Amino acid sequence: MSDVVLKVKDITKTFPGVKALDRVSFDIRPGEVHALVGENGAGKSTLMKALAGLHRPDEGQIFYQGEAIEVAGPLDARRKGILLIHQELSLSPELSVAENIYLGAWPTNRFGVLKKRELRRDATAALEALGCGFGPDVRVGSLSVAKQQMVEIARAEAFRANVVIFDEPTASLTDSEKDQLFHTIRGLKARGVGIVYISHKMDEIFDITDRITVLRDGQVQGTVDTRDTDLNQITRMMIGRTLDTYFVKAKAEFGAEVLRVEGLSNRPLFEDVSFSVREGEVLGLYGLVGAGRSELVETIFGVRRADAGKLFWKEGEIELPTPRQSIDMGMALVPESRKEQGLVLMMGGRENTSLPHLRLFSEVSVMNRAKEMAVFEKYRSALSIKTTGPDQAVSQLSGGNQQKFVLAKWLCADPKLIILDEPTRGIDVGSKSAIHELIAELAEQGLAVIVISSEMPEVLGVSHRVLAMSEGSVVAEFEGAAMTEEHLIDAVSHAREPVAAE
Amino acid sequence: MEQRFKRLLRRHGLVVAFLVFLAGVAFNADAFLTPGNILDVLRQVSITGMMAVGVTFVVLTGRLDLSVGSLLTLLTVIVVDQHNVAGPFPAIVMTLIAGLCIGAFNGLLVGFVGLNALIVTLAMLSFLQGLVLFYSGGSNVNVENAQDTWFAVFGRGEFLGLPLPVILFLVGAVIAGLVLQFTTFGRRVYGVGGNETASIFSGIDARWTVFWTYVISGFTTGVAAIIMGSRVMGAQNTIGQGYELTVLAGVILGGTSLLGGSGSIWRTVIGISMLGFIQNGLLLLGFPYYVQWLVTWAVIIVAVWIDLGAKRGRIFA
Amino acid sequence: MSHTSTVTTDRSPALAALSWLLRNHIWVFLALTIIVFSLASPYFLTLNNLGNILTQGAFIGILAIGMTMVMIDGEIDLSVGAVLALASALAIGLQDHMGVWPAVFLGLMSGAALGFLNGSLVALSGMHSFIVTLGGLIGIRGLVFVYTGENALMVPDFSYTEIPEIYLGPVSLTAIIFFGLALLFQWVLSSTRHGRETYAVGDNIEAAHDAGINVKRHKIINFTLCGTLAAVCGILLSMRLGTAEPNAGRIWELWTIIAVVLGGTRLQGGFGSLWMTIGGVLTLAVLRNGLRLLNTPNYVELMVMGSVLILALVLDKILNRREAT
């Protein structure tokens, strides 16, 4: 056997409009943990799906134990010995642990009757090899997430996997569960399994991995030994893009306070968050995925219910509002997921634009179509939205144009505060800078703006002030000259010392 | 050219097939396309049509109402019985109020408690059937002074040469259509059906929206019951049995999606009228009445399949 | 023995017992109804009457077996009542031409064929099974009428009605067939590849597909089973009555769904078992029988059924919320 178990060579995968992977090559040695890091959209998940047979690469080859292979699908990958452990677990909650380990590949006789004894025996062996604290007959749905994950890992034992790919495995684990997982991973490693470890959490990556490959914009930025590098270098490789985007920052002329949040909590998503934002100010909210940023603003807006905390609107305390009350006060939330939270996809731009403000667009409950049309036309030209007409279903538009309609729908009622949650995710460069310019323009008109982004240059480029969030708390605040990438990185990575477990 | 013809057939194939059917029947049965016969068809369609108008609201939010058949029976029994007890006007008022209340109860369970609409309205179907027997004591009721009551006007009357039930149905459909197309409520219905989460993020209270659609469904069933009671001048305990399915078939045939968010009253009127004309045409051609069920089956499957294909084509092409 | 009775390692025995009870509330329900009716009527707890309950329940019960399989898949079949009527009409109507058993066989095949048709339409078109089988419910009834011409068909030789007159104590052959089939299919669900696929498909269709399960073929098989079982029910009904009424089995699909949902099988799929369905079927039968014994007017039965169903749904909702936390 060679010293490389899996080798990816020059893989390219293009989706309409995006080159998700651009001649990516890397390799995994037996008995190593190899981290794959990069920002959202860097190509990690596409690469992983290509390895598991969910995507067919346009070009390039995959070598497994020295031979070129084609992976037909997850089951095929599993049979070959490549196991993908997805963030959303691929388990059937009502089936037993043993049945889930062998999902779809149960031992049966030729009449399709399960060989239960064999199934149980093999599953027990796999569970024992991992040191799981539960038996093969337990219903998976009754297990904690961590234990469900162990069931997936047990597939590695059961199928004699030589490569195991973990995608954000610790996203919903407690610290002690994480320790248990790492123990298991070290066990796999000791048995010569090659492991790919995908995560946003840098402390974990330095804790467990041997080598790190950094992806950015679908290209490999380099592979380094974990021993020989540090957080700063990795982060720089991840985000150190050439400054091809020019950010316009609004003039720093601030008015009165618009919103103040005191001690807002929605456990376990976030806890004891306080901040305020003024007229004309752009407040950035930076944090890695899972830091609780979206949950925080959704709670302020009223889509989620807080369990503690106070809100002050224009310096007067208010009760925690419903979304309707928030909108009527002059708050606007451009949500994280355009398709799920932002738009009714089968409606046209006109109807989507007026949806949050039906009362403004109607007299005695009758819609004023002329007014709707006027507003639609106004924003179509102001934001240069490309659509064939007011009733073309927004599902047919590109991501950038869809996002512009989400903006139109919130801007048309002249809000006092606009919250933008990942406003440029998944849209083309042109639309991106249009949105950046818009943010500056809005602030100069006197709106208070909150921008959430996991793209550091964007947050730093558009905001006057930045809050760093990590694991549900605001860990630092930067203003003026202190707003640097180094400081932000320090803030979100150093805060990641384990919180004392109960 | 050929391409365009194919597209046309794909998008409007059902209408084309329907027109061919109409022409075929008209060719073989002279009476088919006469004004008198068309009015007859519409008269028959008016009751299911009235109910379908209300049910369309429910379906547009992505829910179901299977209780309307039993509700029709109950309300018809009530309107006929109360006509004898309290007179026509109080009977009508009571019927409509009862319809509203039961609709509200459905709306409460589905909209606010968040129970599965299929099962809730199925349970109501059973419950209301029980209520019918409880109310009527198991016997059929008849209007006592059937000869000289103005109540007869709803089922049998005419206005400007048009049957009054047809006018009621069309007026109801037009009002409902206007409400859906031009009011804030209509917009909320489409919003909740199209994307409930996005609607909540837009400050729409989905619970109330769903609630009101059931109230509307209860109300239109009340109106249908008045037409029914007036036409039959009596009510049997099984008078509305199976109507929920006919109504739903009409709504689906019109192309309103069970997933919610797409469809219209206009489409429902077309769908339910198509069912009426198919039924009538087959009878005129000398087929026994049950042959229409076979045709309905085929038409529903083909219609929905084409619709699905067309939508997919539009989204992914 | 039933896979639902697994004890979780995460909780104390008391909590585990509570959890079991919450997942199997139908048996508590059944016990309660039995207690109430035996206190209320001296005729209830007689062997004879219990035998009657089983026979009465068996017809809906056989339909409910197929419905359970389809529902665990996350689908629904509204056409079972009509399929039943067609099978029953064919089994009687064809006897003149070909003799008893070939006619019965063809009746069975008609159910299988219609089930196969339903399943293929669902799996291949991507239409919701609710629409497909709603169409079937209307159209297949039309087929029945076309065949019978609106008249009830009479069996030519009344020895046909004696076929099911076999008793094991108070238990009729019909009831035995119901329990036999229920146990057989519970075994299929719990011990065969197809059965475990049913849960996998209903639970997490993505995972099932990724694991290489042929979801389409799988669904077609279950719809075919459901149609075949409906035909079995129709044939047994024709034997019991000696006639085939074109309106036989009307709204039985609703009773069937009520029985299955009452048992605890979830409409969303992935959860349920035939043990639960047996519980639901028996509860329904006991309720109907008991209320009749008490000479309550028949509206009480309908109203109780409606209320019980909503209650079961509310209970399920509360229970799910508990499980989620």
Inform me whether the C-beta atom of residue A107 falls under 8 Å from chain C C-beta atoms: no
- Structural domain contains residue B272: no
Distance from CA of B205 to the nearest CA of A (A): 8
CATH 1.10.3470 fits C45-324, yes or no: yes
* pLDDT score, position A419: 96
The counts of H helices and E strands in chain C are 14, 4
User: Do A348 and A318 share a structural domain?
Assistant: no
How many domains in chain B? 1
Contact B201 A323 (CB under 8 A): yes
Percent of chain C surpassing pLDDT 70: 93
Please tell me the predicted confidence (pLDDT) of residue A288: 72
Q: Cβ–Cβ of C212/A96 closer than 8 Å?
A: no
Amino acid identity, residue C25?
H
Task: Give yes or no for residue A194 having a pLDDT over 90.
Answer: yes
Torsion angles phi and psi, residue B125, rounded to 5? -55, -50
Residue of C nearest to A106 (CA): C193
Which pair of structure tokens corresponds to residue A150?
A: 């162990």
Give a yes or no: residue A244 inside a domain: no
Q: pLDDT by residue (tens digit) across A381-399?
A: 998 888 888 988 898 888 7
**Same domain as A103, residue A83:** yes
Chain C residues whose beta carbon lies within 8 Å of the beta carbon of residue A112: 192-194
- List the structure tokens of C144: 């029945």
**CB–CB contact B183 A365 (8 Å):** yes
Q: Which of A159, A137, A149 is nearest to A180 (CA)?
A: A149
Contact with chain B for residue A366, Cβ under 8 A: yes
When pLDDT is cut at 50, 70 and 90, the band that residue A41 belongs to is low
Q: pLDDT band at residue A353, thresholds of 50, 70 and 90?
A: very high
User: What's the pTM?
Assistant: 0.85
Task: Note which residues in 316-345 of chain A have CB less than 8 A from chain B.
Answer: 322-324, 326-328, 333, 335, 340-345
Regions of chain B with pLDDT less than 70: 1-14, 309-317
Give the gap in angstroms from C-alpha A141 to the nearest C-alpha of chain C.
Answer: 9
Domain annotation covers residue A246: no
Enclosing domain of residue B54: 46-266
Query: What residues have CB less than 8 Å from A151, skipping those under 6 apart?
Result: A91, A97, A100, A101, A140, A143
pLDDT at res. A492: 77
In the prediction, which pLDDT does B237 show? Answer: 86
Of residues B120, B134, B252, nearest to C299 (C-beta): B134
Residues of A in contact with B202 (CB under 8 A): 323, 327, 355-356, 409
| C193: pLDDT strictly greater than 90 | yes
A330 touching C, CB under 8 A? no
Same domain for A390 and A304, yes or no, is no
Asked whether the beta carbons of A279 and A258 are under 8 A apart, the reply is: yes
Provide the pLDDT for residue A429.
Answer: 67
In a domain, B187, yes or no: yes
Shortest distance, CA B148 to any CA of chain C (angstroms): 33
| Residue A119 touches partner C, C-beta closer than 8 Å | no
Rounded Cα–Cα distance for residues B86 and A490 (Å): 81
Is the same domain home to A407 and A436? no
Whether A263 and A231 map to the same domain: the answer is no
Which structural domain, as residue segments, surrounds residue A354? 344-414
The tokens for B215 are: 């109230």
| Mean pLDDT for the stretch of residues A66-73 | 85
Chains that touch A (3 or more CB pairs under 8 A): B, C
Residues A374, A396, single domain; the answer is: yes
Which of A182, A214, A239 corresponds to the end of one domain? Answer: A239
The pLDDT value recorded for residue C3 is 40
**Is the same domain home to A203 and A61?**
yes
Of residues B198, B193, B316, B202, the one with CA closest to residue B264: B193
Give me the residue from C132, C299, C309 closest to B133, CB to CB.
Answer: C299
Q: What is the pLDDT of residue C325?
A: 36
Q: Kindly give the pairing relationship between strand C243-244 and strand C167-168.
A: unpaired
**A370 in contact with C at a CB cutoff of 8 Å?**
no
Count of domains forming chain A: 3
Residues A190 and A231 placed together within one structural domain of the fold: yes
| Closest residue in chain C to residue A85, using alpha carbons only | C207
* Nearest residue of chain C to residue B312 (CA atoms): C126
The answer to whether A21 and A15 are in contact (CB under 8 A) is no
What is the ipTM for the molecules in this complex?
A: 0.83
Note whether A316 and A454 are same-domain residues.
Answer: yes
Task: Read off the pLDDT of each residue in A467-487 and give the average, rounded to a whole number.
Answer: 87
Q: Which of A49, A92, A119, A174 to mutate to test the interface with C (most CBs of C within 10 A)?
A: A92
Q: Are residues A420 and A408 in the same domain?
A: no
For A82-128, give the secondary structure using H, E and C.
EEEECCCCCCCCCCEHHHHHCCCCCCECCCCEECHHHHHHHHHHHHH
Please identify, among A414, A436, A452, the residue that sits at the C-terminal boundary of a domain: A414
Beta-ladder partners of A12: A59
Domain membership of residue B212 (yes or no) is yes
Instruction: For chain B, state the CA radius of gyration.
Output: 20
The pLDDT of residue A195? 94
- Write out the H or E segment, with its range, that includes residue A283: strand A282-286
pLDDT of B265 reads 94
Task: Search chain A and give the residue with CA nearest C265.
Answer: A94
- Interface check B261 vs A, CB under 8 A: yes
Instruction: Judge if A178 and A119 occupy the same domain.
Output: yes
With cut-offs at 50, 70 and 90, classify the pLDDT of residue C179: very high
pLDDT digits (tens, 9 = 90+) for C239-252: 999 999 998 988 89
Contact A97, A123 (CB under 8 A): yes
Mean pLDDT in residue range A248-273:
90
pLDDT cut 90: percent of chain A above it = 38
B-C CB pairs within 8 A amount to 140
Q: If you average pLDDT over every residue of chain B, what do you get?
A: 88
pLDDT at residue A499 is higher than 60: no
What is the band of A351 on the pLDDT scale with cuts at 50, 70, 90? very high
Average pLDDT of the residues of chain C: 88
A396 touches chain B (CB under 8 A): yes
DSSP A340: I
Give the rounded distance of the alpha carbon of A242 from its chain centre. 23
A502 domain-assigned: no
Q: Is the pLDDT of residue C4 over 50?
A: no
Query: If you average pLDDT over residues C284-289, what whole number do you get?
Result: 92
User: Comparing C-alpha atoms, which of C266, A12, A1, C235 is closest to residue B118?
Assistant: C266
Report CB contact under 8 Å: A344, B197. Answer: no
Mean per-residue pLDDT, C119-147: 91
A67 with A150, same domain: the answer is yes
| Mutation target among B179, B182, B187 for the A interface, most CBs of A within 10 A | B187
